[in-house]
Structure 1
Amino acid sequence: MLNSKLYTISPSTSLEVTPSNLPTITPSLIFLHFWGGSSRTYSQVISHLPAHHSISISFRGWGQSTGPQEPAAYSIYALASDIESLIPSLNIADFILIGHSMGGKVAQLLAGRNIFGSRLKGVVLLAPAPPTPFQLPEEMGEQQRTAFCTAESAEFVVRNVLTARPLADETVKMLVEDMVRGNRYAREAWPGYGMREDVSGDARRISVPVLVVGGERDRVETVERLECEVMGNVKGELVIVERAGHLLPVEAPEAVAGFIEGFIRKLVA
């Protein structure tokens, strides 16, 4: 993994970009993280993809990325626009979008808007949030808005809600650090309004190949929800990782990398 770099998108927003491996083989892989993550979320997956040029991005307000001090500035559309502004600066040719959870919803919007033309070769969605709106009950919404306020609450969520497999302590530490580091507006946006945004019209316009990877024991984006609300709007293939929960990039990084490798082989063939 090479050194991270900040790319300025606007006076208030800079995105942390972490490249790995030299761009000798195309397509490049662009990784978009979950609500609470950062460019570090994919480090284990990328370690299993040593031959592929990989670029992991922290959304505005997460990791080392900066963002506006405005409650309404962290919508799915704002996150997607940041990525659209960033990609021309990355000096890459063809690429695949890989999005996890909230990042999967952003990836669906990006692929459906398709301002990249033939450069976008495919999309891999890991336990993706569906493109359809979802409204949490008020009490649950309030719990989510405060889930990452302290290290203790974040660790509880990681160990008891988001995962079905035990994680190494150092992995939990990384996840918790990223969760509590996110700025207030970024932390509150997803449960506050991001998950209610409807990008299904764009998702139905995706014309490149799509692979959806779900966790058998995911309690956030269940297999049933993926089958109904994701596959009902996106044409593609659905595969399931056995005994895995929601945090596929850290629970099953080798399996995820294997699915990405297989997807790339089909595209190239």
Structure 2
Amino acid sequence: MAVNSPAGARAAQPHGAASLAVEDLVAGYGDVLALDRVTISATAAGITAVLGANGAGKTTLLRAISGMVRPRRGRILLNGANQAGRSPEDMARAGITHVPEGHGVIAELTVEENLRLGMMSWPGMTSRRADRAAALAEAYERFRVLADRRRKLAASLSGGERQMLVIARALVARPRVLLLDEPSLGLAPRVMTQVMDMVMRLSKESGITTVLVEQNARAALAIADHGVVLNVGRVVAAADARTLAADVALRHHYLGF
């Protein structure tokens, strides 16, 4: 699963690096409180891993940041401006792109048609045809296997290729912040390693602020700059990734390794 480094990839991101912070965030579903006064900050142009057991609130955190869940309280700050309560469409236009759990391709569409969906958040969809062509060319240069399959249905792709496609589609949207929910879910160990390496390289090359939710804490901390551990909707630890990985008691109690 090769990921290439197109010339000018960093410059192609129109928004530049962004800071993201969540302050005193409360969110849930009906009577169920999933996030209880969560405060985190994401490393600008780096990877922040959000870790914890099932039910810790990781996915709800990403859904709140992307506007899919409306917070009951708190702030979501993008470069200092509060975005809390805005719609998913508004969040996308602000530069926040969410790749949800699962290989979320539209199987009935071709690879290229899936990639073109990433352009829907571009302002007014009025960009020149040359801009759209350039975005596709960059995606194909970075993900060569997708170039070879651009006319094939997404249903024909392997699990790893589908994950590559959803990440490529997210990058076509030209985000400032990329939210990745369990990108290694259901993948074979070898492919999972390739996906994690891809996420790390893309973050370094593009300058995008990445928030990575991942059940495999060991793999996530190996590529992250910063880490946050959630337990039952609350932050129980936040530090640089190496510090968290070296904390044996924390790992055993909350991260399972």
TM-score by length of 1: 0.29
Q: Which has the higher contact order (CA 8 A, sep 6+)?
A: 2
TM-score with structure 2 length normalisation?
Answer: 0.30
Instruction: Please identify which structure carries the higher strand content.
Output: 2
Larger radius of gyration: 2
